[in-house]
Chains A and B, each alone.
Chain A
Amino acid sequence: MAQIDELRDYLKRPRLYANIDGTAEMSMGLMVLAFYLMHCLERMNYLDHVLPATWPQTKAFKGMLLLVLLVIPMLLAGRWATKSIKKHITYPRTGYVVQRKAGKSTVVVLLVVALLSAGFAALSAFAYRRYDAAAMSLIWAAVMAGSYSAFVFRLSREHLWKLIIAALMSAGLLLLAITQGGSSADFMGPAMLLVALSWLASGALTLAIYVKRTHSAACEAE
């Protein structure tokens, strides 16, 4: 039985290797930061000042524009940064890996995530109608803190200090939900910023620890 467990452990290792340098966390942080900036610009009605009068002035169009001009370039920049870190730091130190393409199990996981997201959206809408915005904010806070905690539990258990980040993030989100939860717009901005910074800090620290613990192999002499 120990051999089977060991085998399972080896089969899981490449998945853990994907975030050995913290790039997955930093990408996540950058994505949340992009949505936070989009949220801020929307709240400031920034596009009202710069959008030509002849262009459509609907909220949906402005949202789409911000998505294309802000969020997508930030996501692409994150992808480029991840590739650069892998190429110049990770691969020379601990080796090059091409992960396996999505198989059946990945599709199942994506379906489960989609179902959970739909369930969460329905739950937050129900909380908003049945109770108030504060209840919805609490649910959002739980989901945001839960996502990071689940990530740490599944993919980063060797870094116990991440539990401190998870605890700080949870406490901060809870505090925000209590103090700003009355208005979902007031809550979402600071909450997204806190989540983005937590993911980014976690990823950056992981990268710093990785660089400290490993050294670049000048060449592989076999």
Chain B
Amino acid sequence: MNRQVRAISELDRVIHEPARLMLVALLFAVEECDFLYLLHETELNKGTLSSHLARLEEAGYVSIDKTFRGKIPRTLLRLTPLGHEAFAIYRKTMGRAL
């Protein structure tokens, strides 16, 4: 198996899915953000966004905190250290694959 093909097989499947890759990239570039920001930037619908975030949380890449701003609910999201590491590895592997 050549190097590029091996690199593709090593890509993290949780991150490699296009919508989740978009979410992880956005979260990687910020300290924290809320659900509305991701909704606005990704243009995904609420259900799809929620399910992708749940998948990332399950993998331990994203932490989700439900809080309130006055009476309005706010969901704060941030990439965990594991998520940061996984994304850094993903970028490196992707660079090798291309």
A interface residues with partner B (beta carbon < 8 Å): 1, 3-4, 6-7, 10-15, 17, 91, 94-101, 217-222
Contact = CB atoms under 8 A, between A and B. Distances in A.
Contacts of B89: none
Contacts of A99: 30-31
A98 B30 contact: yes
What's the dominant secondary structure at chain B's contact region? helix
Contacts of A219: 72-73
B37 A222 contact: no
11 contacts: A7-B25, A10-B22, A10-B26, A10-B29, A11-B25, A11-B29, A14-B30, A95-B34, A96-B74, A98-B30, A100-B31
Closest 7 CB pairs of A and B: A95-B37, A10-B25, A95-B36, A98-B31, A96-B34, A94-B40, A97-B33
Contacts of A10: 22, 25-26, 29, 41
Contacts of B75: 220, 222
Interface residues of B, number: 30
Contacts of A218: 72
A97 B30 contact: yes
Nearest to B37: A95
Given A4-B94, A4-B98, A220 B29 contact: no
Contacts of B91: 7
A98 B29 contact: no
A221 B49 CA distance: 12
Contacts of A17: 37, 41
A13 B72 CA distance: 26
